[in-house]
Amino acid sequence: MTLWKTQKQQWLVAAMSVGVAGYALIAYSVVPLGNLVHPQMKLAFEAHRVAIFVHIFCSMLAMALGPWQFFPGLRASRPALHRWSGRIYLLGGVLPGGIAGMYVSGFAFGGTFNQIGFAVLAMLWLTTGYAAYRSIRVGDIVSHKQWMLRNFALTFAAVTLRLYLGFFSATGIAFETFYAWLGWLCWVPNLLFIEWHIRRKE
């Protein structure tokens, strides 16, 4: 099941994913924790340092590995690499990153509505990851690909969130106003698009 119509589109998604992962690596390992976020977010980050670091770095790992799982040439020529990177993606990235994300959502900036959005994202990230793992364990390759597409659409929320941050900041809308919606905006359109794509291919 191919999502991208051209290799350029596939490489663009990979570049954006790796770029956000690289940004996270610098922002949370070189720069003091919370220095690049809203002052209220910084206070929450400092109060929950372990959960923030687990969520950020495990999600960063998923972002860096995720797009390469969908390169058909890599799957065909290096099946062992595909399997092992997939295991690391799910068990080292999605699983701990999602569990930490559930915890972090409880104090997410933007109020209850935003917190629920991030909590649902974390829950679906874990659920789709488990479904992808379970399906490949029983040899259902088609179902595995579908669940991995859904899962990566949720992983890609890290990219779309930052695109929205840039867009809304450019419009001059107050951060406190638009960020309260990003807990939903960063992933719902991604998942709807992937679901449409999967059903269109059936």
- 28-32, 74-78, 116-120: the lowest-pLDDT one: 74-78
Q: Which residue has the higher pLDDT, 102 or 33?
A: 102
pLDDT bin (cut points 50, 70, 90) of residue 123 is very high
Domain boundaries, given as residue ranges, for the chain = 7-201
pLDDT bin (cut points 50, 70, 90) of residue 2 is low
* pTM (2 d.p.): 0.93
Taking the C-alpha atoms of residue 114 and residue 116, their distance in angstroms, rounded to an integer, is 5
pLDDT of residue 74: 81
Enter the tokens of residue 83: 């399997």
Q: Which residue has the higher pLDDT, 9 or 137?
A: 137
pLDDT of residue 34: 84
- 2-11, 93-102, 133-142: the lowest-pLDDT one: 2-11
pLDDT higher than threshold 60 for residue 49? yes
Q: Which residue has the higher pLDDT, 1 or 51?
A: 51
Please check whether residue 152 is in contact with residue 198, taking contact to mean a CB–CB distance below 8 angstroms: no
Average pLDDT score over the chain: 93
Residue type, 172: G
Hunting for tokens 């919370």 — which residue is that?
Answer: 34
pLDDT bin (cut points 50, 70, 90) of residue 4 is low
Mean pLDDT of all residues in 14-19: 95
Mean pLDDT of all residues in 38-64: 95
Mean pLDDT of all residues in 152-176: 95
31-120-171 Cα angle (round to 5): 55
Mean pLDDT of all residues in 141-162: 96
Hunting for tokens 């951060």 — which residue is that?
Answer: 175
pLDDT of residue 152: 97
Integer angstrom CA distances of residue 198 from 63, 150, 161: 21, 9, 23
Integer angstrom CA distances of residue 63 from 39, 41, 127, 156, 174: 26, 22, 17, 7, 28
pLDDT higher than threshold 70 for residue 1? no
Mean pLDDT of all residues in 143-166: 96
HEC readout, the chain: CCCCCCHHHHHHHHHHHHHHHHHHHHHHHCCCCCCCCCHHHHHHHHHCHHHHHHHHHHHHHHHHHHHHHHCHHHHHHCHHHHHHHHHHHHHHHHHHHHHHHHHHHCCCCCCHHHHHHHHHHHHHHHHHHHHHHHHHHCCCHHHHHHHHHHHHHHHCHHHHHHHHHHHHHHHCCCHHHHHHHHHHHCCHHHHHHHHHHHHHHC
